[in-house]
Amino acid sequence: MTFQLAPEALDQGYRLEGHHTVGSTNALALERATNGDAGNLWICALKQESGRGRRGRAWETPVGNLAATLLVVGSHDPKRAATLGFVAGLSLSDALQAALPDADLSVAADAGGMRDGSRFALKWPNDVLADGAKLSGILLESTFLPDGRFAVAVGIGVNVVAHPADLPYPATSLQALGADLTAEDLLSLLSAAWARNIALWDEGRGLAVIRDLWLARAAGLGGDVAVRLDGAVLRGTFETIDEDCRFVIRLNDGSLAQIAAGDVHFGAVASASAS
């Protein structure tokens, strides 16, 4: 097991801490920050025993899948730092496209995929889809440090060799898609893509550029959507994401709703899963 960062990442001063097995790469990253780490640290593992996803859900990482967290430390405003999740999604999409440039995944648009069937799709706010199924999840966790700085753990989990089968939504893995790619290979490509996209983000000043690139790969854009939040379900059409990367839905009565957090379901899945 040899994780390595891409030359572009090393040139920007990124560092690497590789493990075979950890409890949680996010928890380890925040521990490093609390102990004074300056950030720009990738923490990676082939197995994660207590990983978690959004809203406290478990995230399985059996041996061979990728669990990676990038620790970012700075004076970021928490609201703007939250948009690092979109940098992460875009970077993972870039890495997957670089690894599988000729992939034709036959993605179904009504399942939240790209209509041209040729790219991995980004599902708001933090998933990467392939063939309409979840391939990766992204989780941001943060804390204020005693010196006033703000630490963000950008956690990225990718189903490389295996995916769970007992989920209420479809999931897949790179191996199931026929890709001969290891977690170590993917981490190198991901670190290079992050180095490029974080330069575009430019401490948040380039968020509009990241937003436009993300929208070009957005799952379900312009299609039927249902969003579950706080026990209610909003239905309508996925219109866009706004300048703060909130999900914008045109409701069935014609009005617009901006959503900061919620579970999104597209097309036929919307009717079945969010009712």
Q: In this predicted model, which residue has the larger pLDDT, 210 or 230?
A: 210
pLDDT in tens, 34-74: 999 999 999 999 888 875 555 455 556 778 999 999 999 99
Q: Where in the chain is the domain with CATH 2.30.30.100?
A: 224-273
CATH code: domain 7-215 is: 3.30.930.10
| Residue whose structure tokens are 């790469």 | 25
Neighbour-count burial of 57, counting CB atoms closer than 10 A to its CB (0-12 exposed, 13-18 middle, 19+ buried): exposed
Residue 162 has pLDDT above 60, yes or no: yes
Report whether pLDDT(256) > 50. yes
**What is the pLDDT averaged over residues 95-117?**
59
pLDDT score recorded for residue 267: 67
**Distance separating alpha carbons of residues 16 and 3, to the nearest angstrom:** 8
Q: What is the pTM of this model?
A: 0.89
Name the pairing type of β-strands 41-48 and 15-22: parallel
What gap in Å lies between CA 184 and CA 192, rounded to an integer? 13
At position 98, the amino acid (one-letter code) is A
Q: How many CB atoms lie within 10 A of CB 56?
A: 6
Cα torsion angle, 90, 96, 97, 99, sign: positive
- Which class is domain 224-273? mainly beta
The answer to whether 105 touches 130, Cβ cutoff 8 Å, is: yes
Domain(s) of CATH 3.30.930.10: residues in the chain: 7-215
Residue 107 has a pLDDT of: 40
Q: Residue type at 36?
A: G
- Judge whether 74 and 143 are in contact, CB under 8 Å: no
Whether the per-residue pLDDT at 159 is higher than 70: the answer is yes
